[in-house]
A and B are shown apart, each in its own frame.
Chain A
Amino acid sequence: DAGVTQSPTHLIKTRGQQVTLRCSPKSGHDTVSWYQQALGQGPQFIFQYYEEEERQRGNFPDRFSGHQFPNYSSELNVNALLLGDSALYLCASSRADRHNYGYTFGSGTRLTVV
């Protein structure tokens, strides 16, 4: 049973560019959440998708957007990249009816903006 799969594992982009990160949830999960983890810090909530809609959003600018597909997979898009966007981006999946039983996290995408 595959867990959460994220791609790519590493990415280097230039300031001002746009990037798309992808996440496939664990089998049986229907909700995907995205987190940004800066170096030496804990993850911070970006947003959560369920039924192809953004359900909740953290304190991130509109440059951060997402999408969820009918197969529950999700994309995180970041426009006009800044140096401060360099971080590990984690995807976590869960079941909408069992959120608090814990989420399954992927291994993340390491984004470096130069």
Chain B
Amino acid sequence: AQTVTQSQPEMSVQEAETVTLSCTYDTSESDYYLFWYKQPPSRQMILVIRQEAYKQQNATENRFSVNFQKAAKSFSLKISDSQLGDAAMYFCAYNFNKFYFGSGTKLNVKP
């Protein structure tokens, strides 16, 4: 069964610093997709970054990048130059026809 584990319920980072959020998953599939979503208090899930499992190159989107280790089934998110607006719940998600979400990491950004 597919499961997604986020072992950090809450993290804090100083503004302008870098933070890494961890995620591991379990699957027997070889071709799938991984996502990081941000959920601010407005409740809407906002796509942060997407990784295709068959691509070895780690995805990047401006200040956001991932470290995808397929063999280890690890998919961490690095946020560089953290901004106050980055504060939110972050969910790691695995997708193979439907989403499986982790339990989330609450990110606090300190000014």
Contacts and interface: CB of A to CB of B under 8 A. Distances in A.
A45 B35 contact: no
B43 A107 contact: yes
B98 A58 contact: yes
B44 A42 contact: no
Nearest to A42: B101
Contacts of B97: 56, 99
B75 to A, nearest CB: 14
Interface residues of A, number: 24
B91 interface: yes
Q: Chain A: interface secondary structure?
A: mixed
Nearest to A33: B98
Contacts of B33: 100
Interface string A36-51: 0000111111001000
Interface stretch (B45-53, B66-74, B77-85): B45-53
Interface of B: 4, 6, 33, 35, 37, 42-47, 50, 52, 91, 93, 95, 97-104
Q: Which 6 A-B pairs have the closest CB atoms?
A: A42-B101, A105-B45, A107-B44, A100-B33, A45-B98, A108-B43
